[in-house]
């Protein structure tokens, strides 16, 4: 409600960029420049509104590259190797998706392909391009489009849920035969940890703010 009132008073939409909404109590606060390494709190509820950490971009870039390497490893090698009644089989992520499609489960196969392969891969590639551009202080328009795309894709990445479902499957299959955990399992676990860490610790609003400081305000960190 407050946001609507203030929006009406604003002459143009760009002025809204100077305001930030508290996600806890929904109070609209004006954004002030803060010192590097500090954070601003909501005057109503004390919730952290935004932080400014110039090293965030470098850390995020390093994490994204590491995550992508683990993702590639997770897809190249077997997740688990099963020996059930003398029948040895190994499972990889691409093999799981293709098996679903080959068996006629097209919707499940496509969903699986998008949720555990295409979207997670997209997020890490977008992150790498985005953080590289911000590091070299280039791409004002492209970074904006990448951030918008990221906000659409991020909720659909479900590599963590896929990992938990593999864990459940392993626990169930142990009763039927011998299970050997492959290198891709550990790579996927490392990828999920990095993915969750990036999603939880680096908020999109913070990247927007850093983008504004780096590219638009000409802050040379
Ligand atoms: Zn608040």
Q: What is the pLDDT of residues 149-164, one digit of tens each?
A: 999 999 888 888 999 9
Cα(148) to centroid(ligand 1), Å: 25
Cα(22) to centroid(ligand 1), Å: 5
Q: What is the pLDDT of residue 185?
A: 94
Q: What is the model's pTM? A: 0.81
Cα(10) to centroid(ligand 1), Å: 22
- The token pair that represents 221 in the structure block: 């960190």
Segments of the chain assigned E as strands:
19-21, 28-30, 38-41, 48-52, 80-84, 87-91, 178-181
Cα(56) to centroid(ligand 1), Å: 24
Cα(214) to centroid(ligand 1), Å: 27
Query: Burial code of 206-217, b = ≥16 C-beta within 10 A, e = fewer?
Result: bbbbbbebbbee
- pLDDT of residue 147 exceeding 90: yes
Cα(44) to centroid(ligand 1), Å: 5
Cα(27) to centroid(ligand 1), Å: 6
Average pLDDT over residues 134-144: 92
Cα(110) to centroid(ligand 1), Å: 41
- pLDDT of residue 34 exceeding 90: no
Cα(20) to centroid(ligand 1), Å: 10
Average pLDDT over residues 118-137: 95
Mean pLDDT, the chain, integer: 87
Q: Which of 55-59, 84-88, 145-149, 215-219 has the lowest mean pLDDT?
A: 215-219
Tell me which residues have their CB within 5 A of the ion that is ligand 1.
22, 24-25, 27, 42, 44-45, 47
- pLDDT of residue 212 exceeding 90: no
- pLDDT of residue 84 exceeding 60: yes
To the nearest 10°, report the CA torsion of 152, 147, 76, 69.
-150
Q: What is the pLDDT of residue 177?
A: 81
């Amino acid at each position: 409600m407050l946001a609507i009132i203030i929006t009406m008073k604003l002459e143009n939409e760009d002025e809204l960029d100077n305001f930030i909404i508290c996600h806890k109590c929904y109070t609209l606060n004006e954004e002030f420049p803060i010192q590097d390494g500090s954070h601003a709190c909501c005057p109503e509820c004390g919730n952290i509104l935004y932080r400014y950490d110039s090293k965030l971009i470098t850390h995020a870039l390093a994490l994204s590259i590491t995550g992508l390497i683990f993702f590639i490893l997770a897809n190249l090698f077997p997740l688990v190797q099963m020996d059930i009644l003398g029948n040895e089989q190994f499972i990889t992520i691409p093999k799981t998706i293709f098996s679903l499609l080959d068996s006629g489960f097209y919707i499940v196969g496509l969903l699986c392909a998008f949720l555990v392969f295409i979207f997670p891969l997209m997020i890490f590639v977008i992150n790498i391009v985005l953080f590289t551009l911000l590091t070299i202080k280039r791409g004002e328009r492209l970074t904006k489009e990448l951030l918008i795309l990221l906000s659409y894709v991020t909720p659909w990445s479900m590599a963590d849920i896929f990992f938990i479902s593999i864990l459940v499957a392993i626990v169930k299959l142990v009763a039927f035969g011998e299970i050997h955990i492959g290198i891709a399992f550990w790579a996927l676990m490392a990828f999920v940890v990095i993915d969750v860490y990036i999603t939880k610790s680096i908020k999109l609003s913070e990247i927007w703010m850093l983008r504004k400081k780096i590219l638009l305000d000409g802050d040379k960190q």
